[in-house]
Chain A
Amino acid sequence: MSETPFEYAPAPESADIANLRPAYQMFVDGKFVDGAGEPMKTVNPATEEVLAEVTTAAASDVDRAVRAARRAYDRVWGRMPGAERAKYLFRIARLIQERSRELAVLETLDNGKPIRESRDADLPTVAAHFFHHAGWADKLDYAGYGPDPQPLGVAAQVIPWNFPLLMLAWKIAPALACGNTVVLKPAETTPLTALVFAEICQQAELPPGVVNIVTGAGEVGAELVAHDGVDKVAFTGSTDVGKRIQRGLAGTGRRLSLELGGKAANIVFDDAPLDQAVEGVVNGIFFNQGHVCCAGSRLLVQESVAEELVARLRDRIGTLRIGDPLDKNTDVGAINSRAQLDRITELADSGDAEGASRWTSPCPVPERGYFFAPTVFSDVQQSMRIAREEIFGPVLSVLTFRTPDEAIAKANNTPYGLSAGIWTEKGSRILWAASRVRAGVVWANTFNRFDPTAPFGGYQESGFGREGGRAGLEAYLNV
């Protein structure tokens, strides 16, 4: 054998492509402005260095943004023919494609996700969402909600840090297509791509006030969703915050859609295509460092193949490359923030304390930055915290089952219900399991696949309302 092993040389994407600026302003009524709040700093989680300073909104700024959105809705956007709205959306979609490399690098810098994912998964899906909804704008009569369905008005939208630009697309594209105007607040740790998206709105000559981006932490979001001037609130984030929002909105008559946490089960039956199931399980929990609300964080595997599957899984996880998110060969990037890293560490420690067996990938982990090596817990029982609570990190809990009924019972034994995966070569078993699993999205022999035509959303504490597809339009129409 060779003396030199075939080790990939570093292949970093150039950070300059992101056109990073020292300071970013928020976007209100078609203009970039400074907010009255205390400016905040956003950090590159892979290096812990400050990327840029970002202005933040005070209550007065949120009010200004909502008023701008109202004016734009009353005077321009709400009454514009769908075919005209479509032109703006198509233009935005094309501009996103043109600037996709810049956006991908910026997303990776701000979020910590590997460039391979921001380039090959996030950005293409972002553009696809705008293209898809651009097509709907003049066809809403045929969406199944009766003739001439009307928009709701001003939508307040608050999005999380795990897929900053993709969540923005999921929120803004359908809202605009249906004739609403929006005020959107990106997460405080990942505001940058949303602010570049605001530039794209300017480039597309979108009428002022149709899209407003206000920046800041939780209190800005709270201010926004509680504002009297909004007609609709859409939130993606934690179940706790979702509950608070729902309480606040009770009795106001304002519409609400929530996309919250999850603790998805990936069910592997003994006749599954094993090599692909291993890939699917890896993709289900280590995609985006496990910062995915629909992550397949619980592996339910039939006892007769458990040993073999877990062995193959460890071999495969051992080949995952963790490190510089800008390196094109990195599979697992950085955890988005110190706070999230602490939470993952704490929950993983509870797994040890409660008696599960921890296995950690032997891959080298960078010394600087927020990183957590891919981790698998076996001997996990339903009662353990790591089997019940959302970890939102690269930590997989392995449970076993003996019969299909037991698999379904265990899969459904959670207050969540966002997604599930079913692995079997038998079509009838896929249909049988899919009709019994309580989850908004069920993947068969695949996992974490997103498409603008497929509605996404949850059951129970995972929220309500759908995003994407025909069903997703309902959230932004007065029906």
Chain B
Amino acid sequence: MPSGSTTTAQATDAVSGGPPPELTEASRDETSLRRFLHALPGIDQVGLEQRAATLATRSVKKDAKRWAIDAAISMVDLTTLEGADTPGKVRALTAKARRPDPEYPDVPPVGAVCVYPDLAGVAVRDLAGTGIGVASVATAFPSGRSNRQVKLADTAMAVEAGATEIDMVIDRGAFLTGRYGLVLEEIQAVKAACGDAHLKVILETGELATYDNVRRASWLALLAGADFIKTSTGKVSPAATLPVTHVMLQAVRDWHALTGEHRGVKPAGGIRGTKDAIRYLVAVREVAGPAWLTPRLFRFGASSLLNDLLMQRRRQLTGHYSGADYVSVD
């Protein structure tokens, strides 16, 4: 079992001497940033998708499957991001987060609960002392269409409410028009506003359209200090896909090779089944490396995934499916 703490301690094991000069140089000004991002190796779409599809054929059975299910549960950011959210709904989620399956107390708690900033306080009260994180979206989620002041105020609100993780969105409009400096600065400003809270940067890969853009945005976020890079808001289709997650896992792997720091990845949206979740864990293991198989460095942004994981977990223990009525609907 990944017993590693499910809290949100800064997941860095920084090497002495700081980042290598080419990285400090990269974020010096707009021109060098553009030069750095455009010099990243290109991505061949066909080859990437073929590799992702081949890895998805890995057959995970028996002990490996049981391990993977528990690991996946501990990596879930149990999410509700609806206009209709109420404090009651959030309490239902926090209860589920603490004890996902009441009949099996050995089920690990989830990684975090993810809510809108105005409800972060509710989750913080409920989860105090449990070690489960409270993630709050911020920065005019999901579109990011507002000014800097509003985005920072949004972040401050979540942090004051006690959120331990902030899920921000990047300014895709600025990114797509090539104003990388603006995107970088904004992430840095939000990072500063986060204080001790962990920053996850949502790239909204469905709007970036190409894998080359995903790679550039990943490096941009890493340069700006993101603790995690996250695929999607869940509000745009396509949300997380395996090939996009491959690109982001390559980015954190290469970042580690350069700096010695471990940064995390969070695919979000559209991951509903255990089978899908296991395919992501296989990708983590074989693309980034086994070191990333911890909730400190890999999370799933999901809501319905947890119940499927619980049902599959029971199936592994009892040999038969229990049915949707035997897990709680929240």
Contact = CB atoms under 8 A, between A and B. Distances in A.
A446 B48 CA distance: 10
Contact of B281 (A6, A116, A319): A6
Most B CB within 10 A of own CB, among A4, A116, A272? A4
Contact of A274 (B41, B68, B281, B285): B41
Contact of B64 (A3, A8, A272, A280): A8
Most B CB within 10 A of own CB, among A3, A276, A328, A329? A276
Interface string B255-291: 0000000000000000000000000010001100011
B43 A276 contact: yes
Contacts of A273: 41-44, 47
A2 B2 contact: yes
B11 to A, nearest CB: 11
B149 interface: no
A11 B59 contact: yes
B57 A445 contact: no
Interface string B38-66: 00011110111011001001111111110
A353 B41 CA distance: 36
Nearest to A119: B57
A276 B3 contact: no
Interface in A2-42: 2-11
Given A271-B42, A273-B41, A445-B46, A2 B3 contact: yes
B293 interface: yes
A53 interface: no
Contacts of A11: 59-61
Contacts, number: 85
A436 B281 CA distance: 43
Interface residues of B, number: 34
A280 B47 CA distance: 8
Interface string A443-454: 001100000000
A442 to B, nearest CB: 16
A219 interface: no
A275 interface: yes
B188 interface: no
Contact of A2 (B46, B47, B51, B294): B294
Contacts of B143: none
For the residues of A in contact with B, the DSSP-based class is loop
Interface in A159-183: none
B264 to A, nearest CB: 13
B291 A1 contact: yes
B70 to A, nearest CB: 9
B42 A425 contact: yes
Contact of B58 (A4, A8, A276): A8
Contact of B1 (A2, A276, A328): A2
B48 A276 contact: yes
Nearest to A272: B41
A279 B246 CA distance: 13
Contacts of A3: 1, 3
A275 B218 CA distance: 15
A2 B41 contact: no
Contact of B61 (A6, A9, A279, A319): A9
A413 to B, nearest CB: 27
B51 A279 contact: yes
Contacts of B214: none
B104 interface: no
B73 interface: no
Contacts of B61: 8-11
A279 B3 CA distance: 33
A148 interface: no
A2 B68 contact: no
Contacts of A445: 44, 46-47
A388 to B, nearest CB: 29
A7 B64 contact: yes
Interface in B47-102: 47-48, 50-51, 54, 57-65, 67-68, 71
Contact of B44 (A5, A7, A276, A319): A276
B4 interface: yes
A329 B48 CA distance: 19
Contacts of B3: 2-3
Interface of B: 1-4, 41-44, 46-48, 50-51, 54, 57-65, 67-68, 71, 250, 281, 285-286, 290-291, 293-294
12 contacts: A1-B2, A1-B4, A1-B294, A2-B71, A5-B290, A11-B61, A273-B47, A276-B43, A276-B44, A276-B48, A425-B42, A425-B44
